[in-house]
A and B are shown apart, each in its own frame.
Chain A
Amino acid sequence: MTGTAMPLPSVAKKRSTRARTVRFGISKLGVTLFTASMAMIFLLPLGYMILTSVKDNNQITALNAPLWPATPEQYTAGDGQVYTVYQVTMTDGTVQDLALEKPGRVQSTFINPKDGTEVTWQGNWRALSSVWSFSIKWDNFTTVLDVLNFPLLLRNTLIVSVIGTIGAVSSATIVAFGFARFRIPGKDGLFLVLIMTIMLPFQVLLIPQYIAFRAVGWTGTWLPLIVPVFFANAYNVFLLRQYFLTLPRELDEAAQLDGASPLRILWSVIVPQAWPAIIAVSLFHFFFSWNDFFAPLIYLNSHPELATMTVGLQAFSATYASSGSGYLTQAASLFALIVPVMIFFVAQRVFMRGVVISGVEK
């Protein structure tokens, strides 16, 4: 009796755990699918940009055009004439691909591309949709490369952002070391000032800075974009200081006892331990200067040969967006975003950790 009764609960238990695993699996699939569709909607404009950048204007403005890059199919008749191919519904209900020879509002004449025979069709040809064949318009990229002068913009942006990144990282590292490791009277007050300058709206600094840079003849050069960066941005200092504080002091003390100078300690003890934070700050500044628009706009105004990517792209869009060349501005945007996005994908882990350090660990 007991022998037969015993296994029952354990079977029921097994079944319920299995049911639970199955249920867990289904909900996991559901949540993941939901998130994936959210991500797809979120990135839909990116898909628009990529596909539009290889389309031509005919397709963009045509009704019933397919989503993928394509061009209306053409038929070359025996006499060398080129006709567009349309999808025509015949009287017997079948749909045939026919080349439009003589368009008319009530009656049109088509050529059957297969055998070259003429077909007369009753109806308005404008209601027909053309036959699209897949075709990528690479020309857009060569046009943009030329008109946008992408190589020049890339060179200018790289110069400004790389020199700026070196300046931003080296100065912020030095200052953060000062804040993290030295007893200085009034240091807490100075640190508070540093935090406050992070929140300062840039507008109040901009006008006097502009006047001063203009007075020393720096407008129309990259100097206003580069030189101030060498004097430690508060945000970067904050991030690095937070990171330095987490490093054990024993190592610097040991180095100090061995007679290392503070500079040597920074270079040989702190910097090797702080790579994640230093890389994060480098990426922050690199992306910042790649994205910066207002400063290049006012300082490089009327110097297209010095323009950075964003300013060049904006000028390009101002000329082409309204003139029915939307596909060209999309191709240009693709050029402008490809470098930062690639770098982000390579370095995303370190970068996103940096965002979190600066936002949470106060």
Chain B
Amino acid sequence: MVIVEDKESVHAPPQRKMSLARRETLWGLAFLSPWLFGLVVFTALPIVASLALSFTNFNIIHPESIKFIGLDNYARMWSELLNNGAVGSSLGVTARFALMSVPLLICLALGLALLLNQKLLAGKPVFRTLFFMPVQIPLVASTIVWQGFLNGSTGWLAQILHGLGLPSPDWFSDPAWALQGLVLLGIWGVGNMMLIFLAGLQGVPTELYEAVKVDGGGAWARFRHVTLPMISPVLFYNILISIIGVSQYFTQAYVIDPLGRGNPGGSTFFYNMNLYKEGWTYNNMGYASALAWLMMVIVVVAALVLFRTSARWVFYAGGER
């Protein structure tokens, strides 16, 4: 049966072969078409449209009075950046959050992954599940839980600290501590990165560790010269994902201050809170588009810098890719 079919295809005239290749292409495109359609309608057109809108004063309540205003939106952003207006302060909050939260979460995720990869640990799957589980809790719910947990008088953390005779900040009511409170809350999201690190660790060949042992290296040498280089691609991926995550940070801050002002004292006024306020409270969709584009440019630049430096510290075991 198979042989007969083979013979047929061998003796098929060249024209028919061409049409077979074309048929394959057409089928393939047909399968890609839902995505291609979505790419054009829900991605490409909106990107172009938001760029175009960013040069207008478009207000969704008065769409008829749309006017091309050149770089005015960008000039406003620039001045708000220089005099620490909404753009400057919200970028500051977002950057401060990133500097606290990204390194902490990366270290914590790596530490947990190393712990869960220990030969000496019993019940690994149970712990893996427990540490991952809070990732599945809707952010609105986990924010409310932490809001209560971190309450300065009735929350458990404050009560534990008081019990130990230590002072406790009133996290989400104190401008000096609210952002740190959000960093703590972020710990519940460590599971994703932890799993990815764990998979990276399990891919490190054990011969390499034995080689270090033969050379008389200790635990630190094994980590520094084998583990770290071998998991550097995963580390790279996790850093990239965290940066993108911070650039989209909104829900938790909005739950902390439903009025969207980033209270207490503007300390949680994230970049996207400003974008939401301009776009959906003031209906300034033109200006909000300019804000969105600035954030995209920042993320793209950060990603490019990361890619550029990666040649120096990311090691691909399979050679250059």
Contacts and interface: CB of A to CB of B under 8 A. Distances in A.
A95 interface: no
A175 interface: yes
Interface residues of B, number: 99
Contacts of B43: 197, 200, 205
B285 A352 contact: no
Interface stretch (B10-18, B98-106, B248-256): B248-256
A361 B258 CA distance: 40
Contacts of B187: 42
A35 B115 contact: yes
A129 B45 CA distance: 66
Contact of A294 (B34, B35, B133, B251): B251
Interface in A205-241: 205-212, 214, 228, 230-232, 234, 237
Contacts of B69: none
A95 B281 CA distance: 60
Contact of A44 (B128, B156, B250): B156
B116 A360 contact: no
B123 A32 contact: yes
Interface in A1-56: 24, 27-28, 30-32, 34-36, 38-39, 42-49, 52
A206 B39 CA distance: 14
A293 B139 contact: yes
Contacts of B250: 293-294
Interface string B127-154: 1111111101111111011111101011
B139 A310 contact: yes
Given A201-B247, A203-B292, A330 B130 contact: no
Given A28-B120, A232-B35, A341-B137, A201 B115 contact: no
Q: Which of under 10, 10 to 19, 20 to 34, or 35 or more describes the interface residues of A?
A: 35 or more
A313 interface: yes
A48 B145 contact: yes
A287 interface: yes
B31 A182 contact: yes
B139 A205 contact: no
B212 interface: no
A209 B289 CA distance: 11
Interface in A311-362: 313-314, 317-318, 321, 326, 329-330, 332-333, 336-337, 340-341, 343-345, 348, 352, 355-356, 359-360, 362
B299 interface: yes
A178 interface: yes
Contact of A174 (B34, B296, B303): B34
Nearest to B25: A184
A360 B199 contact: yes
B34 A359 contact: no
Contacts of A183: 21, 24-25, 28
A332 B122 contact: no
B128 A228 contact: no
A243 interface: no
A360 B136 contact: no
Nearest to B272: A203
Interface in A281-303: 287, 290-291, 293-294, 297-298, 301
Given A204-B292, A345-B129, A194 B145 contact: no
B25 A330 contact: no
B200 interface: yes
Given A197-B39, A232-B34, A340-B136, A333 B115 contact: no
Given A262-B27, A326-B148, A336-B138, A171 B200 contact: no
Contact of A175 (B27, B35, B47, B251): B35
Contacts of B242: none
B138 A309 contact: yes
A231 B144 contact: no
Contacts of A294: 250-251, 276
Given A205-B46, A257-B5, A352-B132, A182 B148 contact: no
Contact of A333 (B141, B154, B276, B299): B141
Contacts of A61: 153-154
Contacts of B137: 337, 340-341
Contacts of A232: 34-35, 38
B29 A184 contact: yes
A174 B31 contact: yes
Nearest to A261: B27
Given A205-B42, A232-B38, A356-B196, A337 B141 contact: yes
Given A183-B24, A214-B60, A337-B141, A326 B38 contact: no
B93 interface: no
A75 interface: no
Nearest to A57: B154
30 contacts: A32-B120, A32-B123, A38-B115, A39-B130, A44-B149, A44-B156, A49-B149, A177-B31, A178-B35, A199-B303, A200-B43, A201-B247, A204-B292, A204-B293, A205-B43, A207-B279, A210-B60, A231-B41, A291-B138, A313-B140, A317-B144, A318-B258, A326-B151, A337-B137, A340-B136, A344-B133, A352-B129, A355-B196, A360-B200, A362-B233
What are the 3 tightest A-B residue pairs by CB atom distance, in nearest-first order? A231-B38, A182-B28, A178-B31
Given A178-B30, A201-B295, 5 more contacts: A30-B120, A208-B289, A310-B138, A348-B129, A360-B234
Interface of B: 2, 5, 21, 24-25, 27-32, 34-39, 41-43, 45-47, 49-50, 53, 58, 60, 112, 115-116, 118, 120-123, 127-134, 136-142, 144-149, 151, 153-156, 187-188, 192, 195-196, 198-200, 203, 233-234, 237-238, 240, 244, 247-248, 250-251, 254-255, 258, 272, 275-276, 279-280, 285, 288-289, 291-293, 295-296, 299, 303
